[in-house]
Structure 1
């Protein structure tokens, strides 16, 4: 019997490869261009997704029996099109939650203690000049963090900031239920106005796209910091660059962008107090293992005709299972 082909948009951790090696042929796309995915999808039985798929990918002939996200965010996958065609989609919720939470807290500490500026000064000038920069540093204890999206990641950030740093915690979560007792549920407007730091952990939807506009940035404290490790399009990036340069807010730590890789003339690259990283908040050795092994296990489930643990479009499963049984009978 011919082994199924798993097309990976990027390589996964070797531990994930090891789980699949005995039952599937793993093919890694040579690049992340949309046309490359379009060209290769027809020869794949399953997709392992670590990059945005083109919205029209499933419009062309294919034999896909499942799509698995090597991570959490589903905006990278045309889920509606997959569902309409009866293709099961699964993800790995929570696998990178600790990594992202630690990135957020690290960003806050970097902002407060000015590690980067002090390090550069000590390298480039002298002890006294570098030490003098400590006069502009501050502590987060007693200050307020606002968390937009109090899900798995947001709750971890809340716990670390409350228990570890002694911060007050505000949370904005539509239809919020069962929040930790130390998280005060508030409106988005109240959260922006009262917070000393705002961190975004909401999915990208029609409702959250450009949620953070220039007008909303102007309601924040001039001393406040914004952290975005969710999705780039949640923030109006041009508005953020304008706000940073005008001193509307004190600074921002940004890990995600509307278009990636970030183009070299992007306004955020020259914005005042913009700490930028290339979409690495979720990437640690530990999280890479969790995501890849979790995704690989669900691919194994799909290949064996078993319902994946984190199926996101369950309405496809009855038809997918029936087709799998028919293939097995024919073999």
Structure 2
């Protein structure tokens, strides 16, 4: 592969990376950060960038302002931060990291499933103000032998299903809006049947036109009484008003939300004052280990593309030949 040994590409990260990733890139690249994550700052910084590592939502026209760009790598899994179709039109390869935060999300779901089933979030608060008598006011159920419903059966959804089945003997129902549900541990069902039968429902679908507000009033009207709901995928999968109504009328026991629409959750939002909700600020995939993995793997994928090598998870393969033709002869040494 031809290369230019003196070339030092400029890599723009929308926010800071783990120190190990910074050190890796520094060997051959110049790593830069924008002034902030605003659309104008991202456009300005992208103007001189050869590669882009994405940890914040990009403006839809970002690639119109990045004439040198030859690589766009998602620091994570979800692609809703990146206008992928625009990247493809511009001949810019886009890569993501399908497995980098999988274990962290799985462990988050297992943890909050147990918390919601035993009503521990409300019990802990009640105990601080009401004392020992609170122990009789928060009945809960065991996960063992119950039914788990997994909405979105990609890598994370399948890993959650396998873990919960192995740990608790849970029966697992699955629905995927975009692909066939794999056979084995998961029994494929309709979305309506999943909500009607599952004791624990966990969402792992991407944000697409087909999935936005998929958890709406009609679907929640048929939810199994006393079920709990977990969303560690994308906030816009759920109709907020419908969720609050279902919590208020008691059909849902509780819900855990790690993602919101918009983010950050604005002050005064009704979710913040609802006792039936356990809320976290988009940290399900954010353990110490996964944070390092995502940074290092996104740096490695960026370097692969800059060396003229296909990334491990190329999202838009139709862009590859065009990109290679455009930059033939100008690559980092392999």
Please indicate the TM-score interval, normalised by the length of the shorter structure. Answer: over 0.9
Describe the SS at the equivalent of 1:81: helix
- 2:14 match: 9
C-alpha distance in 1 between matches for 2:37 and 2:249: 36
1:131 paired with 2:132, answer no
SS in 1 for 2:284: coil
Q: Which moved more, 1:164-173 or 1:316-325?
A: 316-325
Worse-matched range after superposition: 31-40 or 211-220 = 31-40
- Counterpart in the other structure of 1:28: 33
Shift of 1:61: 5.0
**CA–CA separation in structure 2 for the residues paired with 1:328 and 1:266:** 49
CA offset at residue 278 of structure 1?
0.5
Distance (Å, rounded) in 2 between the aligned partners of 1:32 and 1:317:
28
For structure 2, the 5+ residue unaligned runs are: 1-5
Q: Does 1:64 align with 2:83?
A: no
Where does residue 299 of structure 1 map in the other structure? 302
Alignment: residue pair count: 326
The aligned counterpart of 2:195 is: 192
Shift of 1:14: 1.4
- Say whether 1:266 aligns with 2:272: no
Superposition deviation, residue 131 in structure 1: 3.0
- Contact kept in structure 1, 2:172 and 2:186, CA below 8 Å: yes
When the two structures are superposed, what TM-score results if normalisation uses the length of structure 1? 0.93
- Cα contact 2:147–2:173 (8 A) shared by 1: yes
Shift of 1:270: 2.2
Matched residues in 1 for 2:15 and 2:73: separation? 13
Tell me how far 1:137 sits from its aligned partner. Answer: 2.0
Question: Structure 2: how far apart are the matches of 1:326 and 1:78?
Answer: 28
- What is aligned with 2:278? 275
Mapped to 1, the partners of 2:275 and 2:122 lie a distance apart of 13
Is 1:120 aligned to 2:87, yes or no?
A: no
TM-score normalised according to structure 2 size: 0.92
2:252 is paired with a residue whose SS is: coil
Q: CA deviation at 1:326?
A: 3.8
RMSD over aligned Cα atoms: 1.8
2:110 to 92, 96, 105: 105
After the TM superposition, which residues 1-331 of structure 1 pair with which residues of structure 2 at under 5 Å, given as runs? 1-126=6-131, 128-133=132-137, 136-174=139-177, 175-180=179-184, 182-327=185-330
Distance change (3 Å), C-alpha of 1:178 and 1:246? closer
Please state how far the C-alpha of 1:328 moved relative to its aligned partner.
5.7
